[in-house]
């Protein structure tokens, strides 16, 4: 081969070499750019430091590797860069998980505080409500006691007034009865039997000698008492109820009828008189009673 041919071959080799070197440098630049992107990321810049250092060393080794070692160096550099990216991403994810967990804890704590505050306010509201109800109950109790005391005073006053009125009325009735008694005894010329005042009215009591022993007819003293009673009953114009006693029921009823007939004969309207016999022994103090309605 001539010198010219040798020179041409060497020139061709020299021209062919730069494209291969350029391709190799492009691979290293690409990997270096990926590392630069990690470094420039504000979140991942401080993450995966050891893995990124290994990757930088692998990329630097790739840039210096001889052609025969280039393939292995490229594979290693790519794996190291990939591991650095994954490590940085994992650490970023872990830190984000930690941050989210802390945020969750803070939110739970804040929710707990708010719930505690709400419970405290509700408890305070219920306490105030219970206090108001207790005060209202106490006020109503005191008002009820005051009302009861006032009612008691009024009832006591009314009782006293009623008692006074009753006493006055009773005194007036007794006075009226006494005057009527005097008038009846003067008009009839006979003496009225003794009387007493009860809730049911004035009661005249005829003694045992108003009837003959075992007889239904009035005796002389019984007729005298009936004559005076007839005049007295015409003054008051009140209802009359007669009760007569004897151990024999028929005799007791006949005694009551005999006294009624004597009063009617003395001028008392029969419609005003009710007569009944009562079975029982007549006594020396009582054989019959004449009750005037109040």
More confident residue, 47 or 247: 247
pLDDT value, residue 123 = 86
Q: In the Cβ-directed half-sphere of 184, how many Cα atoms lie within 13 Å? A: 24
Range of lowest pLDDT (124-128, 198-202, 284-288): 198-202
Domains of the chain, each with CATH number or no CATH: 3-101 (no CATH), 174-292 (3.30.1330.60)
Residues 287-293, mean pLDDT to the nearest whole number: 93
Cβ atoms of 216 and 254 closer than 8 Å: yes
Listed in order, strand segments (DSSP E) in 68-209 are 195-198, 201-206
Tell me: the pLDDT tens digits for 10-46? 333 333 344 555 666 888 889 888 888 888 888 777 7
Residues 233-241, mean pLDDT to the nearest whole number: 87
DSSP per position, 130-161: HHHHHHHHHHHHHHHHHHHHHHHHHHHHHHHH
Beta strands across the sheet bearing 288-292: 195-198, 201-206, 288-292, 240-246, 273-279
pLDDT value, residue 209 = 94
pLDDT band at 173 (very low <50, low <70, confident <90, very high): low
Mean pLDDT estimate for the chain: 84
Tell me: the pLDDT tens digits for 129-162? 999 999 999 999 989 898 888 888 888 877 776 6
What phi, psi does 206 have (nearest 5°)? Answer: -90, 130
Tell me: the pLDDT tens digits for 181-207? 788 788 878 899 999 988 768 999 999
**For the packed helices 3-40 and 49-64, what is the interaxial angle rounded to 10 degrees?**
170
pLDDT value, residue 43 = 77
**Of all residues in the chain, what percent are helix, strand and coil, respectively (each to 5)?**
75, 10, 15
pLDDT value, residue 12 = 35
């Amino acid at each position: 081969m001539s010198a010219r041919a040798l020179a041409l071959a060497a020139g061709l080799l020299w021209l062919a070499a730069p494209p291969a070197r350029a391709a190799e440098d492009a691979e290293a630049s690409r990997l270096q750019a990926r590392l630069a992107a990690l470094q420039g990321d504000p979140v991942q810049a401080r993450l995966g430091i050891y893995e990124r250092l290994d990757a930088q060393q692998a990329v630097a080794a790739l840039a210096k590797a001889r052609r025969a070692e280039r393939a292995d160096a490229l594979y290693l550099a790519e794996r190291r860069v990939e591991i650095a990216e994954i490590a940085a991403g994992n650490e970023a994810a872990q830190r984000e998980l930690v941050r989210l967990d802390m945020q969750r804890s803070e939110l739970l704590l804040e929710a707990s505080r708010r719930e505690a505050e709400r419970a405290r306010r509700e408890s305070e509201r219920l306490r105030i409500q219970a206090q108001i109800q207790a005060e209202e109950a106490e006020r109503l109790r005191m008002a009820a006691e005051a009302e009861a005391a006032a009612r008691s005073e009024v009832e006591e006053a009314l009782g006293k007034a009623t008692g006074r009125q009753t006493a006055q009325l009773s005194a007036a009735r007794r006075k009226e009865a006494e005057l009527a008694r005097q008038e009846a005894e003067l008009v009839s010329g006979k003496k009225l039997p003794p009387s007493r005042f009860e809730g049911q009215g004035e009661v005249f009591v005829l003694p045992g000698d108003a009837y003959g022993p075992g007889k239904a007819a009035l005796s002389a003293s019984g007729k005298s008492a009936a004559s005076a009673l007839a005049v007295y009953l015409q003054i008051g114009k009140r209802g009359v109820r007669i009760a007569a006693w004897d151990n024999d029921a028929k005799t007791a009823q006949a005694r009551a009828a005999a006294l009624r007939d004597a009063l009617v004969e003395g001028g008392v309207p029969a419609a005003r008189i009710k007569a009944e016999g009562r079975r029982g022994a007549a006594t020396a103090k009582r054989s019959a009673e004449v009750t005037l309605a109040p």
